[in-house]
Amino acid sequence: MTAERTAADAFALLSDESRVEIIRAIAIAHSEQEPSNSGPAPLSFSEVYERVGVDNTSKLSYHLGELTGTYLRKREGGYSFTHAGDRIARFILAENFRRPADVGPIETDGSCPYCGETTLEAGVDDQYFAVRCSACDRPVTGYTITPAQTRARSGNTLLEVRLFPGDTTKMGTLPTSGLRQK
Ligand SMILES: [Zn+2]
């Protein structure tokens, strides 16, 4: 009898920088593809090899073998993510293991819905990118932000964020409830 795989077993498979790099490389390759109704196209062995810094093909073959079944599925044509692989790829791309960069304050257009002053400022506060009114110190709008987003984007582009294909979160489209109050 085979013991049921545990979460700790699944995480143990990732305690290797090359395997994390493979997942990151496949995720980035998928994000560069044209969106398709049938989902991202699998990556061939040689496409993965071109994108990672693994020394030789036998090492890559070994690591792909370890990841296949839990994070990757192998089909004719190459490798694609399992559901778990997709989730862990998002975690890796979001850099949720790092601290967010300091961003802001950025002067922002618009007027405060509470006091009417045009003194809105945007900035990163822990895991939120938020617009606050500096006159009455109330939060006006915002959204949760990943550490990768705080690094990869200039302050002004944080006002229109789209990290993954399909995410359409934009400033101004979110309800003001749900923002963290000071
Ligand atoms: Zn105000």
Compute the distance from residue 107 Cα to the ligand 1 centre, in Å: 14
Compute the distance from residue 105 Cα to the ligand 1 centre, in Å: 16
Q: Which helix (H) or strand (E) holds 19?
A: helix 17-32
**pLDDT tens string 151-177:** 876 666 666 544 334 444 444 433 333
CA dist., res. 64 & res. 19, Å (int): 8
Compute the distance from residue 109 Cα to the ligand 1 centre, in Å: 13
Compute the distance from residue 110 Cα to the ligand 1 centre, in Å: 11
pLDDT exceeds 50 at position 3: yes
Task: Give ion ligand 1 contacts, CB < 5 A.
Answer: 112, 114-115, 133, 135-136
**pLDDT tens string 47-80:** 999 999 999 999 999 999 999 999 999 998 899 9
**What local confidence, expressed as pLDDT, does residue 39 receive?**
82
Give the residue range(s) of CATH 1.10.10.10 domains in the chain.
7-94
**What local confidence, expressed as pLDDT, does residue 133 receive?**
93
**What local confidence, expressed as pLDDT, does residue 140 receive?**
86
Q: Which residues pair with 68 in a beta bridge?
A: 72
Compute the distance from residue 130 Cα to the ligand 1 centre, in Å: 14
CATH number of this structure's domain 7-94, picked from the four choices 1.10.1370.40, 1.10.10.10, 3.40.30.10, 1.10.3720.10: 1.10.10.10
How far does the chain reach from its first CA to its final CA, in angstroms?
54
Angle formed at CA 149 by CA 181 and CA 39, multiple of 5 degrees: 115
Does the predicted model carry a pTM greater than 0.75?
no
Transcribe 111-128 into DSSP letters: --TTT--S-EEEEEETTE
**What local confidence, expressed as pLDDT, does residue 104 receive?**
74
Query: Over the chain, what is the mean pLDDT?
Result: 83
Where do the H-state alpha helices sit in 52-140?
Answer: 57-67, 83-94
Q: Residue 34: which residues within 8 A CB-CB, separation 6 or more?
A: none
Burial of 54 (0-12, 13-18, 19+ CB in 10 A): buried
